[in-house]
Structure formats: C-alpha cells, structure tokens
Amino acid sequence: MSTSGQQQFRYTQTPSKVLHLRNLPWDCSDEELVELCKPFGKIVNTKCNVGANRNQAFVEFADLNQAINMVSYYASSSEPAQVRGKTVYIQYSNRNEIVNNKSPGDVPGNVLLVTIEGVEAGDVSIDVIHLVFSAFGFVQKIATFEKAAGFQALIQFSDVGTASAAREALDGRSTCFQNMLIIVTCASHIQHTRILISSFNLIEAGFSEARQLKHRCVCHGLVGLHKPLSPSKSYCNGGGSSGPDGKKKEPESNVLFASLENMQYAVTVDVLNTVFSAFGTVQKIAIFEKNGQTQALIQYPDVTIAAAAKDALEGHCIYDGGYCKLHLSYSRHTDLNVQAYSDKSRDYTVPESSLLAMQQASAVHATPPVWHNPQSGPVQSSAGYATTGTVPGQAPPAWNPNLQGGGSTFPSAPTGYPGHSYAPPAPAYATAVHPPGSSQQTNHIVTGSRPFSVSQPFQPSTMPPGGVPPPGHAPYHG
C-alpha cells in the first residue's frame, strides 16, 4: 500500500488549516495575504515569498474549519481569489502548520545577505555593489564570497531602515550596471546577528573580499532606487540604442539634464554622485544655478545607463519630504568639459594621480593648469563648466565658479576625493555615522581583527541645515 504520496490530487487532499497559495506576486506581502484570507477566519501565521519564484505562500488559520471555508468558497466562486489582479490558486497544504524558521519577534537586520545571480564572481566588484546599495544609505561594510548559492555579499548598513529600504527596492530585481545584468536577491530571512570576518576567516571561509567603507554617504534618505526598476525591462540588452520604432520625445543622450525643485537642502556634487551612481559609473557632474533654480548635468558613459537613471529618478526627491525634487531630461551635450574637482563640478574620469598633480600645480600657480580631458580633448576653459559641443542646449552658458561667490576653485582637498575609489581599509575605521532616531540595534560585520573604534567622519558641506533628513525612511515621492 502506498502510505504516502499519491494524494496529490486536488480533490482528495486532506484538509489542513494551512493553505498553500500560488501564483502570487513575487513581492506579495504578509499584509496582502492577510487581507485576502481574513474574511474566512483568524490567521495565526503566514509565510510568503516562498519558492524559487517567490510567488507562493502559506497561510495558517486558527481553525481547520476556517481553512475549509476559504477553500470551499473559492472552489465554487465565480470570482477567483486575487491579489493585485492575479488569480491566486489555493489548496490545502500538505503540512499541518507553518514552521517559521525566523525566530519570533526578530526584527530585520541592518546586514543583508545578497545573492547575485547571473554573473561570474569576478564580474561584480565590491565597488559596484557599494554603488548600488549606497543609493539607500550609508554602507558600512561589504564582504563578498562564493557559496553553493552563488556569488554572495554581506552588506552592512548603518541602520535597519536603510537596509530594509535597500532590500525592498532591490530584492528580486535586476539592476543595470555597467552593462551587466545583476539580479539581486536579498535573503534577509537569514538573520545575521553578528558576522565575524577576520582575515583568517577570509581565507578559511572563502571570503574573497571584504572591506570597510570609511567614506561617508551624505545621503540617507535617498530615493534613488525606491521606485521599481521596471523589472521586465532591461536597459542592458546589448547596445540596443534605440530602435526606429521606439518613439522618443527627445533625443537620448548619455548626459542627463537635471533641474531641482524645492531646494530645502544643499545638493552637492557628492550627493548627486551618490544618487546617480546607482545606475552606473558617473563620469562627470556639473552643478549650476539658473534663474535661481539649481540645475545639474550628469554624464554617463553611455545612453542606456542614462536612460535607466532618468526613468528611475524622474520626479523623485533626493530627500524625504518632497525636498530637492528631480526633473530629468536628456541634455544635448554628450561630453562635458568640467573642472575636475571643484565646488560645483567633478570629473571622475581624471585619474587621481593627475588630480593630485593638478592640485599641487594649482597651488603653485594661482590658475588652473592646462589640462586635457582624455576623451574630449579640448582644453578646459577657465569656467567651471563648458561643453565640447557647440550645441547650445537647455544647459546654461559657461558657468564661472568665480562668480558664484564660491571662492576657492580648487579646494585643497585632503587625500582622495569621495567617489568611485575607496581608500584601502588600512585603519580600523568604523564609521559610526549613526543617524539619530534609529534606535534599533545594529549589527556589525567585523572586518579584520582590529578593534572597532568610532572615528569622526569628515563633515562634508552637504549637511543640510537643520539636520539631515530623517534617514531610514523609504520615501516614495513618485
């Protein structure tokens, strides 16, 4: 006699107070499950986002009859059960209770375990991961490693809120980055209470890289990627610049023109870099004022990244509360000629060495040295911003930093500039830039064996007056 199995048939399933639901949205929430099921009884437990596609769930009723009610109702209903318009298929689970592996009452952590699919381990650097996740807040530490599940990373945020925001925005989504398709899946059900990564462990446990990130992210409440990245659409499909069938209101460009509204807080080059780097390498940035409005040009290496950034960021606010709202369009320029390092502009394509040399030179001579952009060729003008093309666009005319009251054009920046390259983790920096208000306990990835110490991060001039906007929020200012 077959004691088990063979009871797969729908009509012979033995009732259970646990129901198995499928064909749910991949990001279905517990709340949505409860909404769907609670008319039939008391729900005592749920488990959603189950299965390889994350589109299954389990719901446990307090009483068996309640589960039977629900199954029989939808068995005879002309209206199928639905979540967000998707028909949900319901049947009795073959188990009698939901086993929740998550410890009761555990709060989401500030450390995410991220599995990145579809890439070779070597394809994704820590810097790339850092850029993607920094859009949501300050990333303190990153460790990457390879396990059976694939290429993975542990990403430590300074607080739970930003970690959750990053998870919600990126979980299960593909993100376009440097022409790679990265599928980010945050397996945050694995609760990391404390992750110890010593240099010894790095070898023993197969950790390929680990880093403490000592630079300070000025943007806590960034909304960069909070808007779904239209998962079905990939901006990375080869060159695919633009088919003739694709209707375009304005010609696409690798340079975005941003105008900012409601400038409650200062938006600096660093802030813009953080926001826009989530979509790809930012090559150059220029900020200027026109008619009292703050505008900026952001240059990417190619159009597809610019398009992704434009789609995702258009209409969003950099800070919670509707502040610094972005309006994006394509610039007519394709290559900006900006001052490499100034108050209002940045050229990340300049090697750091030449930047330093330039700074030294400028310290000797009061005037900027002649400097060639390796891509554009023309000599930089005395203005902070100029374009190589002769096309006058919506961009304002050459912008002169000397008229901005900004004063020093080449600030004697300390060492490196905040950007794409991060100083090696030489000292035991433990950027404890802690946003006020995040009272939840945070965990640490301990990198290296040095003691954890609190250091004072450099204070950028981008601190909004009156304090940073509340971090940890997941603002949706569509």
Partner DNA sequence: AGCACA
* Interacting residue ranges for DNA, rule: CB under 7 A: 8-10, 13, 18, 20, 22-23, 47, 50-51, 53, 55-56, 58, 89, 91-95, 97-99, 101, 189-190
Give whichever of 51 and 467 is closer to DNA, judged by the CB atom.
51
Spatial separation of the C-alpha atoms in residues 124 and 376, rounded to whole Å: 28
Contact between residue 161 and residue 221 where contact means Cβ atoms under 8 Å apart: no
Give whichever of 81 and 135 is closer to DNA, judged by the CB atom.
81
- Per DSSP bridges, beta strands 195-197 and 445-447 are parallel
The torsion region of residue 467 among left (phi > 0), alpha (psi -120 to 50) and beta comes to left
Classify burial at 259, counting beta carbons within 10 Å of its beta carbon; exposed 0-12, middle 13-18, buried 19 or more: middle
CB of 478 to DNA, least distance (A): 28
Give whichever of 178 and 208 is closer to DNA, judged by the CB atom.
208
CB of 410 to DNA, least distance (A): 50
Tell me the HSE value of 192 on the side-chain side, using a 13 A CA sphere: 24
CB of 150 to DNA, least distance (A): 14
Residue 5 neighbours by CB distance under 10 Å: 7
Contact between residue 330 and residue 392 where contact means Cβ atoms under 8 Å apart: no
CB of 51 to DNA, least distance (A): 6
Tell me the HSE value of 77 on the side-chain side, using a 13 A CA sphere: 14
Spatial separation of the C-alpha atoms in residues 240 and 285, rounded to whole Å: 25
Contact between residue 457 and residue 214 where contact means Cβ atoms under 8 Å apart: yes
Spatial separation of the C-alpha atoms in residues 132 and 120, rounded to whole Å: 17
Give whichever of 32 and 252 is closer to DNA, judged by the CB atom.
32
Give whichever of 104 and 451 is closer to DNA, judged by the CB atom.
104
Give whichever of 143 and 326 is closer to DNA, judged by the CB atom.
143
CB of 54 to DNA, least distance (A): 9
Give whichever of 46 and 281 is closer to DNA, judged by the CB atom.
46
CB of 194 to DNA, least distance (A): 13
CB of 92 to DNA, least distance (A): 6
Residue in the structure block whose two tokens are 């304002």: 396
Closest CA to 129 of 150, 149, 112: 112
CB of 17 to DNA, least distance (A): 10
Spatial separation of the C-alpha atoms in residues 111 and 88, rounded to whole Å: 33
| Token pair in block for residue 217 | 């992210």
Give whichever of 107 and 190 is closer to DNA, judged by the CB atom.
190
Spatial separation of the C-alpha atoms in residues 65 and 63, rounded to whole Å: 5
User: In angstroms, what CA-CA distances link 455 with 427, 452, 459?
Assistant: 10, 9, 12
Residue in the structure block whose two tokens are 């808007």: 227
Give whichever of 191 and 354 is closer to DNA, judged by the CB atom.
191
CB of 411 to DNA, least distance (A): 47
CB of 146 to DNA, least distance (A): 14
Spatial separation of the C-alpha atoms in residues 146 and 280, rounded to whole Å: 24
Give whichever of 9 and 244 is closer to DNA, judged by the CB atom.
9
Contact between residue 198 and residue 141 where contact means Cβ atoms under 8 Å apart: no
Contact between residue 338 and residue 286 where contact means Cβ atoms under 8 Å apart: yes
